[in-house]
Structure 1
Amino acid sequence: MKKLFIIAIILLSAINCFSQENIKTHLFLGKWLMAEVKDAEIFEEWNTNSAGDIAGTSYYVKNGKESVNEILSLESEEGNLNYCAIVFSQNDGNKICYRLKEYDDKENIFVFENLNHDFPKRIIYKFQDFDNLSVRTEDDNKGNDFKFTRVEGLINFYYLKGKILKKPFVNKIGKEVPGIYDYFFEVQGEKYFIRNFKNNESLQIEDYLEKELIFQVSFHEGLWDSDDNNHQSRVGKYVKIYLH
């Protein structure tokens, strides 16, 4: 019985333990507009500092005036990822943190929980795709649902830790083309095509292959292989990347 109890503890610990290196927190980055709001615009905006830490604000714009509601952050503590918020009108302005209890890397769902807080006890972020987000705040009896759309795109630069990968170019029929390669930026288990690579030291992209570094990254969507819409090109999400 004692052995079974120990095994159960180990299993429960494994369930609630996430490798933060593979948690796709970079999906939070950008400016998000809440849908179906009358008489005002409500935004949530996330950014990084030069160390790669992620923080944000929740604010609304009404009659041309901007007012901040919350200061947000994603923080690491003793190997755990916490979602923290300072709501100026609540809790005497003290920071309240929610621990990441569930994470689905396929569906991009983050469930943060703090059972000691009155409401909400859980905050759930679900990224339906790169540009659409749903957020739910709830306790065991009720909940509120919000939908957000990314606005202005990820036109800013963000400091992200990742590595550059080199992959053989594969044509439309699935055949590798000798001597031609694509480069991808891998961050938190997600790979993005690299549209360009620039640095201040006249070094080549090959010098940075497979090295875990902090890069300055901007996210885009469009043609991969050409700037001309009249030319055939792959299309999708891509990054421009600079050495930090």
Structure 2
Amino acid sequence: MIRKTFAAIALCAVISSCKNERRYDRIENAKWLIGRWENDSRAGKLVEEWSTFNDSMIIGSGMFVTGTDTVFSEDLWLEQHGDSLSYFAKVYGQNNSRKVEFKMTSSTKDQMVFENPTHDFPNKIVYRHVQDSLIADVSGVSKGQPKTEHFAMKKK
């Protein structure tokens, strides 16, 4: 009887630990995003920086600097709830300074696609990891016209 009880407890512990390992698998698969990414151009410097916040969240920030002026900045985060992963962006002065959610619609080992069809621009954000580069494409409709912006950054 004791052996059967011990075996049942051990089996439950193994099953439980396997479930916990998969609990935050979507955020784990996005950890290639962590680090500082930059692109220097004649127009200025684009920077995105990402770090682990906890088991279910990666936080980040993005900015574009021209000379000594920060022309654009945003708070970013990826957050896993259950089996879904969402990308949030908060740009002060836009959307009443509230965060906007984009839900993951697809992913591979080196790409994540997030969409929010009700948002004006962008309504689709694609992150790709290519060797030592991060490529972000944002697309949607702006002033009634389809628009895509392409941002390529190197890991620093």
TM-score using structure 1 length: 0.48
The percent of aligned pairs where both chains have the same amino acid is 26
CA distance in 2, matches of 1:117, 1:56: 21
Whose Rg is larger? Answer: 1
1:19 shift after superposition: 7.5
One of 19, 32, 38 as aligned partner of 2:37: 32
Letter in 1 for 2:83: G
Superposition deviation, residue 51 in structure 1: 5.0
| Structure 1: runs of 5 or more not aligned | 1-17, 152-244
Aligned to 1:117: 119
RMSD: 2.4
Per the TM alignment, residue 89 of structure 1 is displaced from its structure 2 partner at its CA by 2.6
Q: Work out which of the residue numbers 94, 99, 115 in structure 2 matches 1:95.
A: 99
User: 2:19: which partner in 1?
Assistant: none
**Letter matched to residue 109 of structure 1:** Q
Aligned length: 130
Question: C-alpha offsets along residues 127-165 of structure 1, whole Å, 9 cap, x if unaligned?
Answer: 012x211110012733111111111xxxxxxxxxxxxxx
Give deviations 1:84-113, integer Å, cap 9, x for gaps: 0001131010100100001112xx110000
Describe the shift of the 1:42–1:113 C-alpha distance in structure 2 as closer, same or farther (beyond 3 A).
same
Conservation of the 8 A alpha-carbon contact between 1:20 and 1:81: no
Q: 1:20 to 1:111 in 2, by over 3 A?
A: farther
1:136 matched residue in structure 2: 137
1:72 is aligned, of 65, 72, 76, to 76
Please report how far the alpha carbon of residue 79 of structure 1 lies from its aligned counterpart in structure 2 after TM superposition. Answer: 2.6
Shift of 1:77: 2.8
Relative to its length, the structure with more helix (as a share) is 2
